[in-house]
Chain A
């Protein structure tokens, strides 16, 4: 190896009280013979740090192992040049603070952790960032209020911007709106949209190139170097961009799916966006005969918060209805305005506007469910409302019925399109009769998705953004806004989540900042969220690849494409460094310089497994670095004790777990393996979206293998933990240990 390793053990923060640091240091010296092995009472202090820095500067060491506090703290103090391999061993939170001091078990725990850290440091290699040919241009897709705002934000921050709009003019949905509901104090008066000024500003901005009537034919490459082929009538042309802001907005829900609310039965039943055209100029008239409308009835949540239609709340329809009511009051003060609602949703200060419109004598609100809309030609429409707050079912006559329909994102369903294409290819190949008919079925089912792609990415995993829920492309609405499952592409505005234009403008700012961050990180060769700043990236030993495609399929971010033969083609800038591919690969050919199947396997080997006679159990605990590991740290900070038989190995994501580690551990006589990852499923908290779920799936297969080996499947457990469950984690460990004690020692001990 030739690595000059320095092992520095800190005895501060009561580490020295809990363990025999002298003995620890001597074990490291005897077993690993590092270049330098020192103990210090206060390593993160000026003096302690100068010891390390002097050794580094004078060339005595080129790699350091710091045994002290958790790697999650004092990161400023213990971060050296990326060329210097640095490993932190957690003797404080995971040993001294969470176990009985000065006992044999605690000492053994500390010794194992130090061994594991030294072995890992010996195997890690210095990092060399990739970085070349990065474009800092931001491409904004969609010229509505979100797109324009994002373009202006990025351009004002001195980035070149390309703004692409498919329609002949900019403005999007907001251009169809006459006035906007109040977004400023006192929140009672309608406002101008301000759109013409924004359009003028963006079209004249020297840093913004605007393309209208333009579509994206193809998007190739990766963050920092997207080659986007555009077409507006003539020959396609290519723009290089570093990051993309997806601001394609929304479309109204298709009201023809709402015949039960009278849509299509009478010209006097309209949607809210059709109604927008009827108001604002002169007295309100019935669409059917042009006579003045004496009453208008709004049906809120028309096809919204309804599992047969849109399951979500679009958050703007209530305000739109109030605004339209306000318009009616202004132009036709005698017209009665009925609003039938389930809940009026007017977040924040909008409540003031709600109160203002409601206080008009001609506004009539009624909570209830619409049972029927009886619309017969030539007659006044009758609306039956059930379960009202009057305590009775009522019928309200109305000249015009307005369906307050919700927002549907202008997004493509990436996975559906990919499945469609794969099925189409299968039909083409026609390998067998059954395969072809199966594929044809899929093609028929997914046919509506043909041609819906907007970005037309050339990713193996499909041409657009994967959707998270209800058709919205995102990665996690709460934790990581703007992030999509495609690195360098950020969703903003109503395509991301239902929102009004004021929120969309703010969203645009957020997404623009994300896009800028993305190109800047790419320039420095660093990963973006959630491993922001990480310089490592996986490399593939392709000579041994069997083209099984698992890495391509399982990568949550579509980082890996394939050539014709199915050999993976890795795109480092798309990568978020989670290591899911590493966990997926059955040939174990995917490795990071500082994180690999071999490194973790070596750490497992470094654990001293006591003989059967010693009656000491050993359990391996793989913990996700994002939630589970910090939770255990917090347990340590609270001095909560747990069984000292566990040996924790942090993982970038539980999805990077390679099954071989479990086999290694059990065959070495380790008595059980626990895996703790983030919550998965609909409200997942996995920072890499699918990693935790994938790990759970892989583990299902392992249990079968265990049974074949005559090992109890209960020896391996995978569970979900969130960062705030620090009180639960020690209990989970203890419960698992009790179970292992019941099962008895691993029969493979000593083999």
Chain B
């Protein structure tokens, strides 16, 4: 505790949160019913009560240094039991949106979360660039129309339309670009999460397994006590496997994955798996969201819709192109290829570092840092306790 420190509430934070989908959090009167029902909460961690009051006061530094919102998988028990209808669950969701925007140094994220115009505009812009790369004269890009002579129309020869070497290079550049933004944003997050506590360096190594474990399995989701938790966790896990399979195929194994002619290759079978779980899971999620099934889907921000829709469209156009190709329909294949790229690229470039997809790194990172911080706090109290004077 120590000396009282000055607080200066930032009304901008509050307005942002309201714009990002939290409409009722100011109503919270701190009864802590939410903390009583939340499995994450314990004596030292009144979650989400403390996040609620920090949000109400717009305490930006406090919020940015808090891994709490990322530990929550939105079972919604808090919102269900809130006597004030202050919706702590949705507030944590809005906080995650807010934090994504706050950790992003470019400001793009904030722009997109606050305005549908910008969100769709930026996605459309990237889309247009991709389309242009395929359609403008050769000197500027791959050039479908200008090279129509080069890409034969009597049979599928994808390499002629989109040479795999160039696309592969493009993929890697894209991966680099999005990783750069994502990692720099995550570094900022890491800085805010760790700056207020002295943490022995070794803990970062000893706790590293938790980062990998949670990134790979999201198993904490299963720790929520609502009846849907296991279902939601497994569904999400399937989606992740599909996504990782597809991403790896595209970024690492493109020369094998992008098949030139109408033949079926071994990579196709991996593609079938990925497509099946991606389409299946996104459709299921979208149906739940439309039906507002469960607390998690009570409120939907534009970003919540775009995420599964884009993923669904990517998978559908991918499989569509595959089917067109194996049926040897060249023009249709080339067009579908362009459409697929025009959806997948902006999704990855925009959503991963600046949008909802950033959670793929933020969540495990927060869980990891939380584990490190807990451990550090434990260790420091262990060191002090035996030596400390007995209170009179």
Rounded to whole angstroms, the CA-CA distance of A385 and B4 in the bound complex is 8
Asked whether A336 lies within 8 Å of B11 as measured between CB atoms, the reply is yes
Asked whether A384 lies within 8 Å of B8 as measured between CB atoms, the reply is no
Q: How far in angstroms is the closest Cβ of chain A from B19?
A: 11
Q: How far in angstroms is the closest Cβ of chain A from B34?
A: 13
Residues of chain A with a CB closer than 8 A to B29's CB: 344, 354, 358, 365
- Which of B4, B6, B53 has most A Cβ within 10 Å? B4
Asked whether A396 lies within 8 Å of B26 as measured between CB atoms, the reply is no
Chain A contacts with B in 121-164, Cβ cutoff 8 A: none
Q: How far in angstroms is the closest Cβ of chain B from A678?
A: 38
A177 at the interface (CB under 8 A from B): no
Rounded to whole angstroms, the CA-CA distance of A398 and B11 in the bound complex is 15
A358-B26, A360-B26 known; A393 and B7 CB under 8 Å?
Answer: no
Asked whether B1 lies within 8 Å of A393 as measured between CB atoms, the reply is yes
Residues of chain B with a CB closer than 8 A to A382's CB: 6
Asked whether B9 lies within 8 Å of A395 as measured between CB atoms, the reply is no
Of all chain A residues, which has the CB nearest B28? Answer: A358
Rounded to whole angstroms, the CA-CA distance of A483 and B226 in the bound complex is 55
Asked whether B56 lies within 8 Å of A394 as measured between CB atoms, the reply is no
Chain A contacts with B in 328-374, Cβ cutoff 8 A: 336, 344, 354-355, 358-367, 371
Asked whether B53 lies within 8 Å of A389 as measured between CB atoms, the reply is yes
Instruction: Identify B26's interface contact among A344, A363, A386, CB under 8 A.
Output: A363
Instruction: Identify A394's interface contact among B6, B11, B14, CB under 8 A.
Output: B6
Chain A contacts with B in 368-409, Cβ cutoff 8 A: 371, 382, 384-386, 389-397
Asked whether A359 lies within 8 Å of B24 as measured between CB atoms, the reply is yes
Residues of chain A with a CB closer than 8 A to B2's CB: 393
Rounded to whole angstroms, the CA-CA distance of A371 and B9 in the bound complex is 20
Of all chain B residues, which has the CB nearest A393? Answer: B4
Rounded to whole angstroms, the CA-CA distance of A393 and B2 in the bound complex is 8
Instruction: Identify B27's interface contact among A358, A366, A390, CB under 8 A.
Output: A358
B54 at the interface (CB under 8 A from A): yes
Q: How far in angstroms is the closest Cβ of chain A from B57?
A: 5
Contact with A along B1-39 (1 / 0, CB 8 A): 111111111010011001000001011011000000000
B49 at the interface (CB under 8 A from A): yes
Asked whether A364 lies within 8 Å of B30 as measured between CB atoms, the reply is no
Rounded to whole angstroms, the CA-CA distance of A390 and B46 in the bound complex is 10
Q: How far in angstroms is the closest Cβ of chain A from B52?
A: 9
B235 at the interface (CB under 8 A from A): no
Asked whether A361 lies within 8 Å of B18 as measured between CB atoms, the reply is yes
Asked whether A386 lies within 8 Å of B56 as measured between CB atoms, the reply is no
Asked whether B49 lies within 8 Å of A389 as measured between CB atoms, the reply is yes
A358-B26, A358-B29, A362-B11 known; A392 and B50 CB under 8 Å?
Answer: no
Q: How far in angstroms is the closest Cβ of chain B from A489?
A: 41
Asked whether B6 lies within 8 Å of A395 as measured between CB atoms, the reply is yes
Residues of chain A with a CB closer than 8 A to B50's CB: 389-391
Asked whether A361 lies within 8 Å of B1 as measured between CB atoms, the reply is no
Of all chain A residues, which has the CB nearest B9? Answer: A364
Asked whether B5 lies within 8 Å of A336 as measured between CB atoms, the reply is no
Residues of chain A with a CB closer than 8 A to B15's CB: 361
Residues of chain B with a CB closer than 8 A to A365's CB: 29, 56
Q: How far in angstroms is the closest Cβ of chain B from A473?
A: 35
Residues of chain B with a CB closer than 8 A to A391's CB: 46, 50
Rounded to whole angstroms, the CA-CA distance of A386 and B3 in the bound complex is 10
Q: How far in angstroms is the closest Cβ of chain B from A597?
A: 59
Residues of chain A with a CB closer than 8 A to B5's CB: 392-395
Asked whether B4 lies within 8 Å of A364 as measured between CB atoms, the reply is no
Residues of chain A with a CB closer than 8 A to B11's CB: 336, 361-362
Asked whether B54 lies within 8 Å of A390 as measured between CB atoms, the reply is yes
Of all chain A residues, which has the CB nearest B59? Answer: A390
Q: How far in angstroms is the closest Cβ of chain B from A352?
A: 11
B220 at the interface (CB under 8 A from A): no
Q: How far in angstroms is the closest Cβ of chain B from A370?
A: 11
Rounded to whole angstroms, the CA-CA distance of A363 and B14 in the bound complex is 11
Residues of chain A with a CB closer than 8 A to B289's CB: none
Rounded to whole angstroms, the CA-CA distance of A392 and B1 in the bound complex is 5
Asked whether A364 lies within 8 Å of B56 as measured between CB atoms, the reply is yes
Query: What are 12 A-B contacts with C-beta separation under 8 Å?
Result: A336-B11, A360-B26, A364-B9, A364-B56, A365-B29, A389-B30, A390-B53, A390-B54, A390-B59, A390-B62, A392-B4, A395-B6
Question: Which residues of A are in contact with B by a Cβ distance under 8 Å?
Answer: 336, 344, 354-355, 358-367, 371, 382, 384-386, 389-397
